[in-house]
Amino acid sequence: MSSLRETMLKQRYQLLDLICKFPDRSVYIAQDCAYDKRLVAIKEIKQTILDDWAPEDIPALIAAIEREPVLLASLAHPQIPQYYDHFSDDEAWFLVMELVDGDELRRWLSKSLPGELLWQASSKERTTKLLAVAIQLCDVLDYLHTHTPVILHRDIKPGNIMITPQGLVKLIDFGIAAALLPGETGGAFWGLTPGYAAPEQERGKWTTIQTDIYSLGVTLSCLLAGQHSPWDATSEPFTPPETIQPESLHSLLTQMTLQDPEKRPDRAKCIGMKFREILTDLQRGPSTDVQIRQLLASPSATYRTRGKLETCYQGQTMWYQFRLPTKQRSRLDVPAKITCIRSQAYVEVTFVNPHISVKEQRWINPSHLWKLSANNAREE
């Protein structure tokens, strides 16, 4: 390309800055002159990438490159960059998408914990932050894995996880993702990240949902153990280091990184729930823990909004805030997750990491919530 700021792509996108550059691909910040001069990210893949491939493999490589924009265009999730446009010329393919304002996961940790060395074993604060990130990642993976067709990311690693200034986790780079119809598996065709890729992916075998689960487990294990990459592991095959605490977290990561994909957990949603339980145990104080357990001892100790509940569908969740009485204070503010089940609503008490916010968080007056008795809906 000529001078960067003199470059106009498709007579519409004015290049402004270079985000990263590799021999066969680059990512730029650009201005969309046809859409209120919004800032976008443009991923360029040069056709010189074909020079390193055998002639018989080139058609499949081109198909993989052209599949990424089609796949992104089919997705709609606040934690996945939004697709805007794609085009090509005689020299390269271009993908235009949402510009993510934030830091890569490892850099975000460094900035959030300025006094902590990331190559040392994790502190409680770093563990808490990573658990909060992991919960959001599980939400994104659950969306991808329950999508029709199923979407496998196949390249989960710290460099593909971004954290915005608001604490929202973004999963980026779907360059080697696969879209699978029910019952299908996807081959790891033209790219992977050694160490983070699952064993079946590195061997060129078929990939499944458990392939993403493995990569997430390795990513978290390395950051928790203070390893720069999976290559720093002292065991082969990879197993989470014993320094990872608490034991419940080490056990879960061990399950996620088993060599046999059929023995790994197969639902990101369930893994996210376990991460949330571990995070809650780390954050809650002993006295508060006892009091909340007492308040929720009865399975019918549920909460609902006073008057008309906001319209929601079965399985839909919303975030509210309500107050619990404690012995130490008359009221304790607690973030609460309300899930609609059969047109009724119950509250699952959870503690949210103050460093990680939920984009869809909505707050209502705490006095608008009250406890339901075991068999009726009268106010107590």
Question: 155, 260, 289, 333: which is the annotated catalytic residue?
Answer: 155
CATH superfamily of 103-281: Transferase(Phosphotransferase) domain 1 (1.10.510.10)
- pLDDT tens, 290-348? 333 333 333 333 333 333 334 434 444 444 444 444 445 444 444 444 444 333 333 33
In this structure, whether the domain defined by 4-98 belongs to CATH 3.40.190.10 is answered with: no
Contact between 161 and 219 under an 8 Å Cβ cutoff? The reply is yes
Is residue 155 flagged as an active site residue? yes
- pLDDT tens, 213-268? 999 999 999 999 887 667 654 447 888 988 898 999 999 999 999 999 999 999 99
Place of tokens 């390249």: 155
Contact between 271 and 294 under an 8 Å Cβ cutoff? The reply is no
Q: How far apart are CA 192 and CA 186, in angstroms?
A: 13
For residue 113, which of 207, 226, 241, 192 has the smallest C-alpha distance?
Answer: 226
Break the chain into its structural domains and give their ranges: 4-98, 103-281, 286-371
> Where residue 190 falls among pLDDT bands split at 50, 70, 90?
low
